[in-house]
Every structure is written in C-alpha cells, then in structure tokens.
Structure 1
Amino acid sequence: MASAHKHTNRLSLERSPYLLQHAHNPVSVGKRGFDKAKSEDKPIFLSVGYSTCHWCHVMERESFEDEEIGKILSDNFVCIKATCGGGGWPMSVWLTPDLRPFIGGTYFPPTDHPQRPGLKTVLTRILEQWQNNRPALESNGEKILEALKKGTAVSANPGETPPSAPDVAQRLNLMFLMSFWSVNRCSSEGGEALQMALHTLRMMARGGIHDHVAQGFHRYSTDISWHVPHFEKMLYDQAQLAVAYITASQVSGEQLFADVAKDILLYVSRDLSDKCGGCRLCPGVGGPEKKEVGADKMEKREGAFCVWTAAEVRDLFPEVVEGSSGATQADVFMHHYGVKELGNDPHGELGGQNVLIVRYSVELTAARFGLSVDRVSELLSAARAKMADVRKTRPRPHLDTKMLASWNGNF
C-alpha cells in the first residue's frame, strides 16, 4: 500500500512520539549518524526535542517540513534527531565529526526575523565557515567545551573535608531553605531562609504559573512576576511542588499552602492518572488557532487552551451581583485576576489574551465591591468551575501518554 506522505525517513521505524512527528520531514535523518559523520567528514546537526514542546512543533512545521531546508541539511550535514526526557525548547546544536559542539541554539524560524536569524541563513553560514574557515569553528568548539567544563567542574583538594550539610543548604532553595530553617530556628539566617521559601511559594500560587481554573502548575514563568508561563505541566514538577507546599503548610500552619497542595494532587489524579495505576507525563501547551497553515492543518498557538479574552469573561458572567452597586460577576472576577480589555500579557505575545493572576487578596476584592469575604470567595469559586467546564469544550493539546518509572517515583 502506497504511503500517503511525500517523504518518509528512518524515524518512521521508531516508537517515540517525538521522533515519529518528524518521520515525514524531507530530511535524511536518524537517531544515530556519528560514524557517517566521521566517514564523510561532515558537520553534525543534532536536534533534540520533546513531543509536547510547543516550539518543537513550530520548528518542525515551519523549518523541517521546508523542502529547501531539507535539501540543505541532507546534502551537507549528518542530521541526528533525539528525544529529550524533559519538555522545553528545541535544542539545536552543530558538532564536528568527533562530537565537539561549535554552535548551539534553540528555535530557529525558516527565514530571518528581526530578533533571530532564520535556519536557512544559519545553515548557509555554517556551511561556508566549515568549508572555508574550519579551524576557527573548531577553535570555537574548544572554547565552548572549556566554558562548560569550568561551569560544571567540582574541585576539591586532596584530603580536604567535604562541606557540611548546613553549608550546602545555604546555597539552595525551597525544600533546602525550609530544611535549613528546621535546624537553625533560633538564628536570623534560619528565619530569613524560611521567609524566602514561603514568599516564593505564595507568589507562585498567586501567579499565572499556577492554573487557577484547572489546577496544577505550569512548567516555568517567562517573567519575574510568575505571570506568563510556558504552559506545559510536567508530572515531576507537580510532585516536587506538592511536597514543597505540604511542607510549607506543616511549617507555617497557613491554610493557603495546604489548599495548593490539594489542588496539585487533584490535578494529577484527574488529568494525568491512568487506569493502570501510573501517571502520564505531560499535556502540551498549544490550542486552536483559526489561521490555516496547510490543507489539513491548523496552526496551534502557545497557551491558547488556557488563556481568556475580557469579552469571553464578560459573556460568561454578565449577572449583576446583589449588594455590589451594580457590579457584575465578571467585574469582580476581572478585578481579582487582573483581566484587562486588551489582555494582560506584559510581553504582548498572546494577542489580547489574559493569563489569570491573583492581583488582590479576597479581603481587598471584597472591600472594593462592598461584599463579604465569603460572598466573593463563593463568586470566584463558581466562576473558576464554570471556566473549567468551558475549557473542556476547547480542542485539547497533545498529551504525552508515556509513563516513566523515574517521574512516577517522585510521588
């Protein structure tokens, strides 16, 4: 039976969801090609990614499906595709045949953008340097390796005693900070360590990195306010954060931390747990976008599954709240979670969308609208539940269904 695809490469024989996503790119590619690089004396293009990484999908669609880019790569480089155990940006690295990196980067668009060169430009420049100025490239590779070794080296003098546990703890955070406090409760340093950890956990819980609608935490924030996240939710992050919030609750007695821990565990049990008993790894970050990019494809915009316009919120909650001097439920919700008419993304990349972030305490929101704290808590809880139901109707992003013992072991 003839294949429906114009191109098929060796990745079609793999089982990894990420590698299979690239099985029909017009690139001669495999997981292993180091021997070929040596025999043909060609530079290696090593591309590493993950199945639910949004920008890995974008680069695959924009760059690796491009016929011209595919020909440049296949003719002049030994291309190796590898899967990464964790999510994140695509990693693009060029190496010599003896595996010494000389240039690295993350996502490259197919053509030049104001903020970064396109992949065609990068490939052309690397090829020119490889052919005409190879010693400089190899020298650059040596500098990169030396910098990496220096940054990761652990030095010790013969016979020297390793640092004590408290000394090590002072250089780390969250769980280590709380552990440091537990053995230094009477010192100013111990108190400072505890307050640093608790403040960080509070701000994370209030921030957009915390999914206020469907629970759990996104992978990391792209700003110092914990506001706009990279929207993946990794299993191991949920496990480690659950432990951190449980510990914070035990140490401080604050109900907030206990509530957040329950929130995380609810998310994992509901959305990541499998009937066989284990937990799946991670949902993706994309969502529907109306712009067509091919006959049978739609472009997926990062975070589209999770964000909201002000108009959507107003349409969902038009009811006037009794006792509020005319404010609607939407007014209360938008004030509390920082929803703005033109969007609240400080980077301006979400196209008028809003990432929910707690801007005020329930007490301050209640005072703003002349309502009781209990009434505001009730309104916000009902609104979040309704938004969760609405989100279920949206096309869901890709889910990595693998179950790894190491990640599940965190629980």
Structure 2
Amino acid sequence: MEHEHTNRLINEKSPYLLQHAHNPVDWYPWGEEAFTKAKQENKPIFLSVGYSTCHWCHVMEHESFENDKVAEVMNKFYVNIKVDQEENPGVDKFYMTFIQLTSGGGGWPMSVFLTPDLQPFFGGTYFPPDDRYGRPGFKSLLTRIAQIWMASPDKLINSGKSTVAQLKAYSEAKPEGDSSKATDPWSLAETTYEHFASSFDTQYGGFGKAPKFPTPVQLMFLLDYYGYHYKKEQGEKALDMVLYTLDKIHRGGIHDHIGSGFHRYSTDQKWHVPHFEKMLYDQAQLISIYSRAYQITKNESYANVARDIVQYVARDLQHKEGAFYAAEDADSLPNDQATKKLEGAFCVWEAQEIIDILGDQYAAVISYFYGIESQGNVDPAQDPHGELEGKNVLMQMHSEQETIDKFGLTKDQFNDILKQSNEKLWQHRLHQRPKPHRDDKILTSWNGLMISGLSQAGRIINEPEFISLAKRTATFIRANMYNTETGVLIRSFREGPSTIEGFLDDYSYLIQGLIDLYEATFDDQWIQWAYSLQEKQNEQFYDKDGGGYFNVNSEDKSILVRMKEEQDGAEPSGNAISVRNLIRLSTLLQKETSAYTKISQDTIESFYTELNKFPFAMPAFMSSFLLFAKGIKEVVVIGSDSYKANEFVRIVYQDYTPHLLLVRLDATQGQKDKNNNNFLCEQNSVFQDLIMKESTAAEAYICENFACGLPITNVEELKSNIIVSNNIHSNE
C-alpha cells in the first residue's frame, strides 16, 4: 500500500531505503540532519536497520511503518532513522553488538532506541504491531518509552552512557594474561576440525540441524586443513565432509535447478525447502569452493555447478558495464494479476503445470527425478504461512541412474530430456511469472568476493570468459567506486556512487580479489592497485596500539565505538582476509616484507584469546593463521617460450595447495621494462635477478622463505617438486 506521503528517503539510492520512501513515517537517512533535529527538539531516536531482500523487514514495514496510527506516534515523539545494513555495516555492527549483548539474540529488522547523542538504551529485532502473549507490541513500546523520556530523560541518558562505556570496554578488552604466549596453530586447527567433525550431519551433509546454511567459510577451512596434509586421516575426513555437503546442496532444493544459483539457506535439515532469496556473497564463495572441489577430485560435476552459478550471476545480477548486484528477493507475485507477494512464487511448481508445459512423457521422467508430487512435496512444517500448499520445490530425489533404470533410458536420452525440460521450465518462469525484486546496488566488498570466485574458477576449470568477467568487475570498481586522488574506496553504487566510504571488508575482499585476479592474468596492474589499497587500509583501519583492524575508518565520528570483527558469518571476517592479503603481498613485494609480516603477526596475536577459546567460530582466521605458520610457497615461471610456460602454469594449478602463490615473468618483457614500468620486478629484487638472467627458454623456480631453488626446466620435475615440498613437516 503506497501513501501520498513521501519522506526524505525519496532522495536516497539504496533500494531498501526507497522501499520506505512512501511510508507515513517521517524517515531520515543516517546523518547530521537527523542528529541535529534530535538534539534541537530533545527527542529520542528510533533507529530501524534492515535490507531490501529481508522477509521480516517487509513484514514489520507492512504491519507498522505503513500504519498511519503507528506512524503518528513515531513522528510525534521520535526522530526516525532508516539504515540499509548492507550499505552501512558500521552502524549495523555497533548497534547489533548492543542488541546481542543485552538480549542474547540479534537479526533483522533491528529496532533500537537511542538518545539524541546516538547512545543506545533499548532495542530488539522484529516487534509485532500489537501486544501478544504477554509481550508488548511495537505501538505500546513506542508510547511507553516516550512517556519515560518525557518524565525522566536522565534515566535513559545515563543508561545510554553506561551502555556505550560497556561496549567500549568490551571492544577494547585486551587478551587475558600474557598475549605473547605462543599459540600453536596446528593444534588449534585440529580443535577446529574436531568441532566441525562432531557437528557434521552424516546423513544430509552440512553442520547441525535446521535451519541450514551452506557455510562456505567453514567448508573453505576444511579444504585448507586437507590441503596442508597435516594429519592424513583427519585431512581425508575433512575433504569427505566438504564433498558430501557440496553433493547434497547441489542436489537439494536450496539449489535452483531451473534458474541456477543458490538460495540463502534451507529451512529444513534435508536442504529441501529454502528461504528463497539469493545473495551475491553466497554465489561468489560457492564458485570458489566448487572449483576447488573440482581441482582436487577432477570430478566434472563440481565444475558444472561452478558454471551454473556463473550463468546465474552473469544473466540476472550483472550490471551492463560489469560488476554485480547485491541480491534477489525471496518473495514475488505468483502471476500478473496477483496483488500479494508470496515466498518462492517465482521458483515453485504444481504437478499439473509440469505436465502442461512438458507433456506426459517428459513430465513423468522429470517428476520422478525432482520428486514432484501431485499434492505438492512441501512438508507443512516448512510452510508456516501456507504459501507453498500444493506446490513442489524441485530437488533431486532420485539419482540419474535410478531415473535411467526406471524409464529404460540411455544416459544420452536422459541428459537430453533433462536439458530440454529445464530450458522449457526456465522459459515458462521467465515469461509467465513476475520476477522477484532485485536489489540493484553494487557493493564493493561482495564484488571483491566475486572477483576471487571468478578468477579462481576461470583458471582452475579453464574458462577464460570467467576471468573476463572478473576483469570487467575490477575495472568497473576502479572507474566508479574508487577515488584515484585520495585512494579511498566507496562502499556502494546505484545510479552513481554513494557518499558512504568503504569499510574494512570493502578493502580486504577487494585486495584479495585483485591478488587472485593477478594469478589468473599475470597482469601487474592488479597487484599495483592491491598494494595501494593495502596501504590505504593500514592508514585508515589499523589499530597501531592493539593490533588488528577496526571495521570502520578513523574519520567516521558517527560510530561511537569502533569495533573489530574476528568471527565469521555468512562472509569471512575482514581481519582474517587482511592477514592473508598481507602475507601474500609481503611475499610478492619484497621491500614491504618486514612491515607487512609484523602487522599480520600483531593482528593474529591481538586475537589470541578468542583463538584459544573458540577457534571454530573463526575458521577463516584459522586458515590465515595456518598460512602464516606454513609460509608461502611461491612458484615463479619465467621465459618467453609461452607454450612451455603455460604448461608449467597448468601443472601448478592441477592440485590444490593452500599456500601456493604463482608468479609469471616474461624475460623479454622484463628487458623492455627494465627502466619502464614493471611493478613486480621494481619491488622484488629476486624477480629482478631472475629477469636479468635473460633466459629465453621457460623455467620454473620454487621459492620459500624468500629463497629460490635451482631452475626447473622439465614439467614432470616441477610436478614432483611441488608434491614433495607440500608435506606439512617438510620445511621444519
């Protein structure tokens, strides 16, 4: 329901804020105008944080923010501020920490009451409009807090001050005891592995019970744990857990078999009925993991899933000039005549529809394969609002072989039926059903993850087009979301760049993406930009006193306490990725070795307490700690015989080695650029020496601990040398 009323959000670019621009609530965006009004009128602030594809955010908007009576109370007694969690994660992180510490839970929409000085004194997540089950509804809450504020504001102001003091103490808490006490990364890695092994779902894959998320960060740690060959039996089991989970989720309903890509999570333990929204960060990280699964197993099905995800993002989330949009909503209209959006409407099927579209013969095969039932295949327990009654969520209920056997088909016949049927169903969805809302803002951080995924998949499964997509994305960000004069990144772009500067994850994920892009292209410009960004990140976010990186920059005075993130969520922590970036850059750019190594070491040590208490909550950090302990294995390929050099590169990428870094130098190019611009050779004297040898044949060098072995001229010799030096204890 749209109101005649428009509020200040109408001038914003965020799709989430624009969704609320026609509410009768007099919303303000986060900023000085709202803060000044609250101080001048001595009113508390009501802060509401969410994102555009968040189901319960839509519910609270519809129940409360579109309600004239609720809006009247909000406008009379409060200054109301709306924040897009994805656009301004710094605001979200600070107040979410408050909610988690005071209520033990958190989530979106987040609803927080603040003093005019932005100090939080009360909050929660979703509030229903009216009192229910003895719990106050949103309207009662608004009225009660307004009464307390008018009667005794000092009480709430003091509560806010004391809360901020506690949050400050919490964020600045130093490690207990002697933080220089050595922490053994390998035993912590074992603890982390054991935690995942004990919570592993041996029947359905993944960890724990419903709801179940794909947890790419945890899977990535397990692949690293396997890749270091630390303990063979545990490593093999870690790999098995990853592969089993990847098999289950790509066969499950969490995978969109018709429209490609992955939904955000499964509401049940079997990966069948998803929450249907699709997030860019999931697609990006799953591309990385499926490509690595292919690299380890050479099983083409993993490469095909990576291709499937790329097909989805390139088709449905790509900006015309490159770079990718944030997300697609779970809810959509079931048809053009409908007025109410339903969850999953774009993706689910009635049995009769399948017959009508495919005809009896194909429908029988497809219905058996995907588990389609005449009454629908969704357990009512997974459908609390009755939106999926009589509907089917497609999931591979029977294997290809079972289907082939049941219908007496050849493999080629089955593949042909599947391909044709999937295409017909996709065309039906595309042309007969309204598409879900797409959040078309471009976030630097998530695009950084995407550059990594595309670069890795491109080189591992030999898809040059993926590398082109990664290059276009990096080029778009540099042209549109980067200030070349100040070196500062911008957080988001939609119809032009936003005014919000980048956060730690914008820098760290993009730097990681650029290093991965260098390894896919061997183009120095990406390392040169990664280095500039790392310098800017150190200047703006690094804690020189305590080690580690804050998540907001030093200039942002609206965040009362700068927090540090070490735990992973749906994405890895910015500190974990920063440690990894510093280690890789210090190896590539020799002159920065001591400074970058020191920062990475201090960052690891600043989180010793957390690492010792709950390493399993920090799997990405654990991976970085292992990389720090093991050191980089650098393979340098040099020479102008491009055929042979490419053979060397191909051999290096055949196996998964977590601490590997590949450099490709062209001797003739080096000569030409001796006094010109060859960034890596200028920075690294080892590379300079190798270039000066002016060898025309192709050679490879394995370099560890800043020293290189003898030149290798034979592909088989390179292969055996990499395998030998991969053993975890080989260089101890």
TM-score range, shorter-chain basis? 0.7 to 0.9
Work out the CA distance in 2 between the residues paired with 1:209 and 1:264.
Answer: 13
1:231/1:285 contact within 8 Å kept: yes
RMSD value, Cα: 3.5
Which residue is 1:403 aligned to? 442
Give the letter aligned to residue 218 of structure 1.
Answer: H
Aligned to 1:334: 367
Match of 1:307 in 2: 348
Q: Deviations for 1:71-106, whole angstroms, at most 9, x for unmatched residues?
A: 111122331111121798422233444522422113
Q: Residue by residue, what CA displacement relative to the aligned partner does 1:345-394 show, whole Å, maximum 9, x if unpaired? A: 33124332222111121112223334344433332222111110001011
Task: Name which one, 1 or 2, has greater alpha-carbon Rg.
Answer: 2
Maintained 8 Å contact 2:3/2:24: no
Offset at residue 401 of structure 1 (A): 2.2
1:367 counterpart residue number: 405
Q: 1:159/1:81 Cα in 2 relative to 1: closer, same or farther (>3 Å)?
A: closer
Match in the other structure for 2:226: 181
The residue that corresponds to 1:11 in the other structure is 9
- Using the alignment, how far apart are the partners of 1:235 and 1:167 within structure 2? 34
| Mapped contact 1:100–1:145 kept (Cα < 8 A) | no
Deviations along 1:26-61, one digit per CA (max 9) or x if unpaired, are 112212434544555544321112233344334323
Aligned-residue identity in percent: 44
Question: 1:201–1:129: structure 2 CA closer, same or farther, 3 Å change rule?
Answer: farther
Between 1:39-48 and 1:217-226, the stretch displaced more is: 39-48
CA distance in 1, matches of 2:305, 2:121: 43
Does the CA contact (< 8 Å) of 1:12 and 1:23 recur in 2? Answer: yes
The whole-number CA distance in structure 2 between the counterparts of 1:407 and 1:24 is 29
Alignment of 1:10-409 (within 5 A): 10-31=8-29, 32=31, 33-37=34-38, 40-85=41-86, 89-98=108-117, 99-106=119-126, 108-111=127-130, 118-124=137-143, 126-127=145-146, 155-161=175-181, 163-167=183-187, 169-170=189-190, 171=192, 173-184=218-229, 186-289=231-334, 298-320=339-361, 329-346=362-379, 347-348=382-383, 349=385, 350-352=387-389, 353-393=391-431, 394-409=433-448
What CA distance in whole angstroms lies between the structure 2 residues aligned with 1:198 and 1:138? 53
Check the 8 A contact 1:103/1:141 in 2, yes or no. Answer: no
Q: 1:313 to 1:123 in 2, by over 3 A?
A: farther
Higher helix share: 2
> Could you tell me how far apart the structure 2 residues matched to 1:385 and 1:151 are?
52
Native 8 Å contact 2:120 2:160 kept in 1: no
Alpha-carbon distance change, 264 to 148 in structure 1, aligned in 2, over 3 angstroms: farther
Q: Provide the rounded CA distance (Å) in 1 between the counterparts of 2:134 and 2:303.
A: 43
Deviation at 1:113, TM superposition (A): 6.7
For residues 59 and 41 of structure 1, what CA distance do their matches in structure 2 show?
Answer: 27
Quote how far apart the aligned CAs of 1:175 are: 1.0
Q: Which runs of 5+ in 2 are unaligned?
A: 90-106, 193-216, 452-732
1:315-344 per-residue CA deviation (whole Å, 9 max, x = no partner) reads 223333xxxxxxxx2232222212223322
Give the distance between the partners of 2:282 and 2:413, measured in 1 at CA.
33
Matching residue's letter, 2:284: A
TM-score, normalised via structure 1 length: 0.83
Q: Distance in 2 between matches of 1:300 and 1:243?
A: 33
**Structure 1: 5+ residue stretches without partners:** 321-328
How far 1:243 moved relative to its partner?
A: 0.4
Measured after TM superposition, the shift of residue 278 of structure 1 is 1.9
Judge conservation of contact 1:166–1:180 (CA < 8 Å) in 2: no
CA contact (8 A) 2:266 2:273 kept: yes
Distance 1:218 1:187, change over 3 A: same
Q: Which moved more, 1:335-344 or 1:145-154?
A: 145-154
The structural deviation recorded for 1:251 is: 1.3
Question: Aligned pairs, how many?
Answer: 395
Relative to structure 1, is the Cα distance of residues 311 and 66 closer, same or farther in structure 2, using a 3 angstrom cutoff?
same
Which segment is superposed worse, 223-232 or 50-59? Answer: 50-59
Contact in 2 for aligned 1:231/1:303 (Cα 8 Å) = yes
- Residues 15-36 of structure 1 show CA distances to partners (whole Å, capped at 9, x for unaligned) of 3222222222111221243454
The answer as to whether partners of 2:7 and 2:21 remain within 8 angstroms in 1 is yes
